Structure 1
Amino acid sequence: MSLFRTLKALPIFYKSISNTFPILYNTAPTNLLRSLTTTNKLQDLTEFFDIKKNWGLEEVKSGRAWKVEELRLKSNSDLHKLWYVLLKERNMLLTMEEESKRQTKLFASPERIDKVEISMENVETVVKERNKAYHLLETGETGERPGEYKAGVFGLNYYYKKREYVIPKFMNVKWKKTHVFRCNKKDVNEFLLKYNEKKFLERRRARTRNFNHVIGLLKRFPNIDLEAIKEQYPDVDINKAKNSRKCRGHFVPK
């Protein structure tokens, strides 16, 4: 009740002050005053949708994703603002994609979602770099959650991030009953043998494909920059490809 009376008496108080000190009250410098600012008032969920001029278009022009080199030049405040701008843009694009599916219509320029997600990943990379550098400078540690590589049920390694539990694993009887891993070591070794063979064949096919592609480039463009080819295809022996019989082509002897 006292707060209500105080608020009710405020206009009378300011009126008496203005009458008693008219010069101090009415001649305040305008450069020291600042009007109250608020965000735009929205009555609906239009911010989850694209602007109306892009509705029904088959293609919407958009820029490229933010690069890590560009984000490293920005301050922490700018990165924080940019993260929420990208988050808002991603929510809008996902909403428009789902609405297009619901209406069985074409979603214009779906690559915009990939650009936004790449930008968000790059922002997160820069923030992690700065946090790691700060913790190394202050405490000598990275400050990240520790982890280690473990072998799964099928013998494949994966990175496991450690975390705290209320009950340790060796004391948690309920967890031991629900997480029982039974596997035959012979079957796992056979699976790993075939899996490694598959990966080896994929790498060999990729090397052969790149080697033949470099031969085709050297055959079509004899004066091509070899340093650029080495940078783009580091697993290809340029001298071997240049001396290959396929690279020489056909010629008429003199």
Structure 2
Amino acid sequence: MNFVIKNITRNAVALCYRSTNSIKLCQTSIQDNIKCIHTTIKQYDLMDFFDSKKNWNETNIRVGRAWRLDELRIKSNTDLHKLWYVLLKERNMLFTMEHECNEKVRLFPNPERIDKVEESMNNIETVIRERNTAYYRLETGETGERPVVDVVNLFGLPEKYHKQEHFLPKFMNSRWVKSYMEHGYINSLSVKKFYRLYQEKLYNIKRKERNRNFNQVQHLLKRFPDMDLEKLQAEYPDVDLEKAKRSKKARGHFLPKY
């Protein structure tokens, strides 16, 4: 009887010891996995939104240039994904520091850092779009981009419209159809009047620019009679040089050679 009790006790102790070791092993594996899942080497919590303390009172911070397209094209998608989040964190930090400097009425050092980060992020998007376009052209023969069509907006002006999915088709969307009907808002007299005045405004802008360039060419011909006319024509292609040379404003106190 004593022998049976000893065996039962020994088995119970061994089972408890094994279960304790398995629990500790699971805890250590979970902790190791948690330590591996993070985006930064050091965890600063909300301090990731602020620059390092050594740069708080600096007026000039040495930084590098933006990432170029040629440098990003040779990187893998995984590297681009990591770099995107690094730049995203950097941009959030710079926006926070800029806001804090404005609140403290201080000069934000090197504000061009924001432009460099945004340029790098735009270049990453360009590279990703190039790869997606190449993949879809190879697989489906299309670009994979959202199709774009030329439409007329509510002011009667042409614009580019990126197609997207809607809950209702066109013929069931009465709010959209009524605007484009024969007597709808887009074909109304007020929209036509606005479009006519808008075209007149654009014409006046081009006319003033053309007159300004013509007067500038006359002034240059008057000051520099020996200048190269081919380069002048390339600089101002919309100006008639023959007419400018015959004008009185282009004549100075000398006998023109042309």
Where on the TM-score scale, by shorter chain, does this alignment land: which range?
Answer: 0.5 to 0.7
Counterpart of 2:21 in structure 1 is 8
Counterpart of 2:204 in structure 1 is 201
Q: How does 1:192-231 map to 2 (within 5 A)?
A: 192-207=195-210, 230=234
Counterpart of 1:83 in structure 2 is 84
CA shift, 1:235, in A, is: 4.3
TM-score (norm. length: structure 2): 0.63
CA shift, 1:193, in A, is: 1.6
CA shift, 1:180, in A, is: 6.5
Q: Which amino acid aligns with 2:196?
A: L
CA distance in 2, matches of 1:216, 1:67: 42
Q: Which amino acid aligns with 1:8?
A: N
Whether the 8 Å contact between 1:135 and 1:143 is mirrored in structure 2 is: yes
Question: Per-residue displacement from partner, 1:55-113 (whole Å, max 9, x unpaired)?
Answer: 24444444444444554444434433332222222111111122223333332333332
Q: Which amino acid aligns with 1:55?
A: W
CA distance in 2, matches of 1:160, 1:211: 38
Whether the 8 Å contact between 1:155 and 1:192 is mirrored in structure 2 is: yes
Q: Which amino acid aligns with 2:92?
A: N
Question: Per-residue displacement from partner, 1:120-146 (whole Å, max 9, x unpaired)?
Answer: 222212221221121111110111122
Whether the 8 Å contact between 2:149 and 2:161 is mirrored in structure 1 is: yes
Pairwise CA RMSD: 4.4
Counterpart of 1:128 in structure 2 is 129
Structure whose CA Rg is larger: 2
Percent identity for Structure 1 against Structure 2: 48
How many residue pairs align between the two structures? 223
Counterpart of 1:17 in structure 2 is none
Change in Cα spacing, 1:53 to 1:239, as seen in structure 2 (3 Å) is farther
Q: Which amino acid aligns with 1:104?
A: V
| Structure 1 unaligned residues grouped into runs of 5+ | 13-35
Whether the 8 Å contact between 2:170 and 2:177 is mirrored in structure 1 is: no
Whether the 8 Å contact between 1:148 and 1:161 is mirrored in structure 2 is: yes
TM-score (norm. length: structure 1): 0.64
Counterpart of 1:51 in structure 2 is 52
CA distance in 2, matches of 1:43, 1:177: 52
Q: Which amino acid aligns with 1:109?
A: N
Question: Per-residue displacement from partner, 1:156-213 (whole Å, max 9, x unpaired)?
Answer: 12222222234434345xxx46997463622112211221222233344445556666
CA distance in 1, matches of 2:69, 2:218: 34
Do structure 1's residue 154 and structure 2's residue 167 form an aligned pair?
A: no
Q: Which amino acid aligns with 2:188?
A: K
CA shift, 1:154, in A, is: 0.4
SS at match of 1:116: helix
CA distance in 1, matches of 2:54, 2:242: 56
SS at match of 2:151: strand
CA shift, 1:47, in A, is: 1.7
CA distance in 1, matches of 2:54, 2:76: 34
Q: Which amino acid aligns with 1:155?
A: G
Change in Cα spacing, 1:189 to 1:243, as seen in structure 2 (3 Å) is same
CA distance in 2, matches of 1:76, 1:241: 59
Q: Which amino acid aligns with 1:165?
A: H
Q: Which amino acid aligns with 1:197?
A: E
Whether the 8 Å contact between 1:150 and 1:158 is mirrored in structure 2 is: yes
Equivalent residue in structure 1 for 2:194, among 188, 191, 196: 191
